[in-house]
Structure 1
Amino acid sequence: MIRRNLLPNSRSVAVVVAVGIVAAMLPGCKKHEQPAPAAQPAAKAAAPQQPKPVQKPVSSALKLPPPPVNQFDFSNKKDPFKPFLVVKPHPAAPAAGTAARISRSGLPIHSFDVSQFRLIGVVTGDRQNKAMVVDPNGKGYVLRVGMSIGKNEGTVTSISNSGVDVLEQFRDDNGRVRKETIKITLPRK
């Protein structure tokens, strides 16, 4: 059985490459001369050549003014670092007690009584328990132990699976400081 070698040997590969290089260089080495242009007829030579139309200059009224030197003028823009709500003190001094505390804090969580908040969830975790309450307007707040809530600025003392305990301190009619513990519980289903 005769077996043909399907792979070319190195000598035949070298010959094919050399022939390819020579073939590629031959057309580039020839110098092609362009034929001389034929003499133009006398009729075309006698006619004066028309100049090419030049673009008309744009009038100065249509030109845009040069850009201003200060391109980054933000004098009429709103300052992004100013708060949206600014609490201004009332011109008349409020009476001592709760009214003074409400105007001092100005937060929405301090504008309702503690009993008006609804507890909707309690999260017990590794570090600290948290509770979610909703005010009468429907806005939610996340409470942690130590936060203040309500008109009388009650302090959250404990959060458990059964509810949230809030301690309120206020002065009664006799001028004594009273402490009252209010419990906000989860609604029954």
Structure 2
Amino acid sequence: MNKAGRKITLCLIILCFSSLSCFARDESPTNDNSSAQALSGDQYAYNSEGRSDPFKPFISPKTSSASPDPNEIVDENIEYSGMQLFEPGQLNLVGIMATSRGFIAMVEDQTKKGYMLKAGDLIGKRGVVSLINEHEIIITETARTRGGQEMKETITMKIKREGDK
């Protein structure tokens, strides 16, 4: 090792030991008065006069004094399964079969997985397959409002022919 390298190494060692000796004597490397008070054992008292409560949340829960809208549709708290997991708009009607018991519709989802529907099957959150004929499925969706009024909507799914969009 050359002379310059030894001098740099010696300076680094001296710096390390001088900083360690500062901590060994409980000296503070800065002259901050707040840390000196904490080391001397003085108690700190919080003066809350004119200040907000530091433990109070910034956002308070919204309290609504207005009554709820009676025309708002209320969803039922039930667990959905089967075809109730699909809304009619998520399905494509690909075929209808005539059987001795009536018509059966064949639908597929976006992943091209197929399902069979017959009259009376539940579909979506509020729908029931009310009619299947040679060319279409008619689904009746029934919703209840907060005021107890019953609202009905009819959805028609038609078979898409070649060239139809």
Higher strand share: 2
Provide TM-score, normalisation by structure 2: 0.48
Q: Which has the higher contact order (CA 8 A, sep 6+)?
A: 2
* TM-score, normalization by structure 1: 0.43
